[in-house]
Structure 1
Amino acid sequence: MEPVYRGLGRCVCCFWLAVAFDIVGLVVLLIGVFVNVFFYDLLIYAGAIVIFLSLIWWVFWYSGNIEVPPAELEDDVGLLKKDKGGLSAIGGAVRRLSSRVSSGIRNSFRRNGAPSGHRGRAQRSAAGPPGAPQEGQVVVAMATMAPQENTPHAAVSSVAGCDIETLHAETSPRPV
């Protein structure tokens, strides 16, 4: 048998905390308004804050006293009714269909909606190994050179619409 609550209902502790916060906040606020002290503004603000915090206890007390019949809770918490066999089978089919559709949508966003800086696996494998030149890229090879006695002269050539300066050094063969 379910206990019967009268008067304050369930969550009596939250009710009395809310009342205590209201009384303390009101007393502190009124002291700040009517008593001649140099920190009256602190008392006014503190009283208002304590009264505001009492709202938390009032919400706890109110939400703790909401009564919902168990018949209405069955669908919300996943308890299926046993006596309606046909409807539960339909509900299971609808749930499976819903999960398939939502996972398909989620996966399509993962494949197609990746930011421009992140490429998917399919794009990465089609592009070749990392570091391989892609279409529209120019490969430039650089090498370090030891300083030579002769001064080099520069030649400018145009490749793909860009001017590239190459250094040609006239050197004599090195002794081995």
Structure 2
Amino acid sequence: MEPGYRGLGRCACCFWLAVAFDVVGLLVLLAGVFVSVFFYDLLIYAGAIVIFLSLIWWVFWYSGNIEVPPAELEDDVGLLKKQQRGLSGAVRRLSSRVSSGIRTSLRRNGASRTERAAGGGPPQQVAVSMATMTPQGDTPHGAVPAAAGCDVEMPRTTTESSPT
């Protein structure tokens, strides 16, 4: 015989926590509204947050009291009933084989498609040559004149970067 749950159901603790959060949140909120203190806005926000957190306990209480007959649970965990071993059992097995085949095919081919979309193998490196250029001929009026004997030439450098 199943135990008879009356009144609050199986999760009485969650129910009383939800009620306590609601009462405390409401008292704090009302204190922020009606009491003349300089931190009234803190009380209003804190009360609203505590009332919002009470929703967690209400959801726990409600979901803990949902009753599902064992006959319905048996089908959800993959146990086939004796009456369904005929045509419906065969359809269920065929459906699970097709869906698992598609799932494994997508997992197996997912990496190769990604590599093809990226343009093949690993990214190639590109060498870029940099050199310092000295002006030839006339210089514009706004240019800074070169100091006497300060012709310094920079060595050629190479920088590698990947194409983007």
Tell me the TM-score normalized by structure 1: 0.61
Gaps spanning 5+ residues in structure 2: where? Answer: 127-164
Counterparts in 2 of 1:89 and 1:45: CA distance versus 1, 3 Å: same
Matched residue SS, 1:84: helix
- Report the Cα offset of residue 117 of structure 1: 7.0
Gaps spanning 5+ residues in structure 1: where? Answer: 125-130, 132-136, 138-176
1:102 aligns with 2:93: no
- Report the Cα offset of residue 89 of structure 1: 4.0
- What's 1:116 paired with? 118
Matched residue SS, 2:82: coil
Q: What's the CA shift string for 1:102-121, capped at 9, x where partnerless?
A: 211322222222352773xx
- Identify the structure with bigger relative contact order (alpha carbons < 8 Å, sequence gap 6+): 2
Where in structure 2 are the equivalents of 1:21-170 lying within 5 Å?
A: 21-86=21-86, 87-114=88-115, 116=118, 119=121
Inter-partner Cα distance in structure 2 for 1:73 and 1:113: 40
RMSD: 2.4
**Matched residue count:** 122
* Identical pairs, percent: 68
4+ residue runs over 4 A deviation = none
Inter-partner Cα distance in structure 1 for 2:36 and 2:119: 66
Q: What's the CA shift string for 1:27-73, capped at 9, x where partnerless?
A: 11111111111211111111111111101101111111111222222
Inter-partner Cα distance in structure 1 for 2:46 and 2:3: 40
Inter-partner Cα distance in structure 2 for 1:23 and 1:73: 37
| Higher-helix-fraction structure | 2
Inter-partner Cα distance in structure 2 for 1:33 and 1:48: 12
Matched residue SS, 2:44: helix
- What's 2:154 paired with? none
Structure with the greater alpha carbon radius of gyration: 1
Inter-partner Cα distance in structure 1 for 2:53 and 2:120: 47
Matched residue SS, 1:113: helix
Matched residue SS, 1:68: coil
Tell me the TM-score normalized by structure 2: 0.65
Which deviates the most, 78-87 or 33-42? 78-87
